[in-house]
Structure 1
């Protein structure tokens, strides 16, 4: 019995380490490779170099795609946070009608396969004769990430005490003043966390972008096109920087989405 008690934790640790290596081990390959030169398909491990990062600054096609991705992500975040906040406030209001249908419409594009969402948007844009452009990509990404933003803000809104709003109205505040001075400060952390997660999703989205894009390509679409010809060494540097950037974003998002009591407890420790 004692042997089994000792073997169980060791087996659990081994299994956990195996899963971590299986999931995150491949991510280390481009990061490590970005600091070594590649010649004739062989990596030169003899001398580290940052030449790949210097080459990345001169790769105009990749940098242009990255800039487009940032613009799309920023636009999708602004629209989704504005719409998600408004829809969450409507859903939480006592006089709201069609709540279940509202949630069905919001969550449907997020739960459906991206290719279906992208095709639906493509058909819609063609029917209304809306030319595909950077704007259509932003609209497509907004439709996709809206459910995440809406649910995050609604969860925080429902956790607030209704007496806050009632007290604000009793003191003579208008609806706008109640939102600006009472609700917005309490929702700000959830809005920031939702915005970061929405940006991360938008940054990675490929299938919807392929179907609604015009002449401009986002970074995932550009990398997908490069797969047929092979990646240059500077792409390893790009992957390393993107991984670092997304990791920092996720840590910030977790910080903002954690309950206030948990944050206070960690600060005390």
Structure 2
């Protein structure tokens, strides 16, 4: 049982947390409200509430094109980074692995550096290789950026796998490929899924790297930024709300996957 002072302290801590969250997320709620109603001379016209701004987004070809590009980039980047994360984690845990520290430094560096540095570096690299800026360079940049997250999750899960499982598989006559398919891969499935969803979240929201690598192709965050440069409109508020909603859903999915993974390990 908590005494009076401890209950007061808990109440004040909860109140302070609520105030901070309200200040942080108030702009989100305001954007959501303004995407549904009209504002005239500083007055909110509640009687005009409708979803027409969301409907009009789907009739905007530039937004649809940006959404399609975002989906293509996210799926390709997540696929590439997941496959590389599995391969690199397996190599890092191999007893004969060489230059492991240097390899991990190369994996983590694009994620730890400021995005503007990562984007500029990838821009110079693609220019030196003669690769025109477009979806291919965006995929390359996003893959390098999210690889660290997928690799860390897969490696942590791999390190927790009992060695006796692999040894038992070999003792029963399984080949390396069979052991990987039926033992290692199912054990890593939760980490792979969580890493893929988290990588998808990061790729969906990434803007600075895309600015350097996009060329004449637009992703959804870049389209939103371009629309905001000419002034705010109800459509912008609707698009902001949708982007934030998708981001929150992906973040909640990652949090639930991490919680499930922690419970399974316990």
Q: What range describes the TM-score normalised by the shorter chain of this pair?
A: over 0.9
Q: What residue is the counterpart of 1:13 in the other structure?
A: 14
What is the CA-CA distance between 1:140 and the residue it aligns to?
A: 0.3
Q: Which secondary structure does the structure 1 equivalent of 2:143 belong to?
A: helix
Distance in 2 (alpha carbons) for counterparts of 1:226 and 1:256: 34
Once residues 85 and 106 of structure 2 are traced to their aligned partners in structure 1, the CA distance between those partners, rounded to angstroms, is 12
Aligned to 2:173: 172
5+ long unaligned stretches in structure 2 = none
Alpha-carbon separation, structure 2, partners of 1:53 and 1:35: 9
Cα displacement string for residues 182-209 of structure 1 (whole angstroms, at most 9, x for unaligned residues): 1111111111111111011011111111
Q: Is the Cα–Cα contact under 8 Å of residues 196 and 253 in structure 1 kept in the other structure?
A: yes
What are the superposed Cα offsets for residues 238-264 of structure 1, whole Å, 9 maximum, x if unpaired?
222233322222222223333457269
Q: Residue 107 of structure 1 corresponds to which residue in structure 2?
A: 108
1:36 corresponds to 2:37: yes
Unmatched 5+ stretches in structure 1: none
Other structure's SS at 1:43 match? strand
Take 1:84 and 1:191, find their aligned partners in 2: how far apart are those partners? 9
Contact 2:135 2:217 in 1 (8 A): yes
Cα contact 1:37–1:52 (8 A) shared by 2: no
- The residue correspondences of 1:1-269 to structure 2 (distance < 5 A) are 4-39=5-40, 43-260=44-261, 262=263
- CA–CA distance in structure 1, aligned partners of residues 12 and 252 of structure 2: 30
Contact (CA 8 Å) 2:63, 2:220: kept in 1 or not? yes
Question: C-alpha root-mean-square deviation of aligned residues, in Å?
Answer: 2.0
Bigger Cα displacement from structure 2, 242-251 vs 145-154: 242-251
Rounded Cα–Cα distance in structure 1 between residues aligned with 2:8 and 2:221: 44
Q: Report the alpha carbon displacement of residue 223 of structure 1 after superposing the two structures with TM.
A: 1.5
Tell me how far apart the structure 2 counterparts of residues 95 and 150 of structure 1 sit (CA, whole Å).
19
TM-score normalized with structure 2 length: 0.92
CA distance in 2, matches of 1:16, 1:131: 48
The answer to whether the 8 A contact 1:38-1:233 is kept is no
TM-score under structure 1 length normalisation: 0.91
Q: Distance in 1 between matches of 2:79 and 2:155?
A: 17
Shift of 1:94: 1.4
CA change 1:191–1:132 in 2 (3 A) is same
In the TM superposition, residue 38 of structure 1 has moved relative to its aligned partner by 4.0
Partners of 1:76 and 1:138 within 8 A in 2: yes
| Alignment partners' CA distance in 2, 1:39 and 1:172 | 76
8 A contact 1:255–1:263 mirrored in 2: no
CA deviation string 1:213-268 (max 9, x = no partner): 12111111111122220132122222222333222222222233334572699xxx
After alignment, is 155-164 or 33-42 more displaced? 33-42
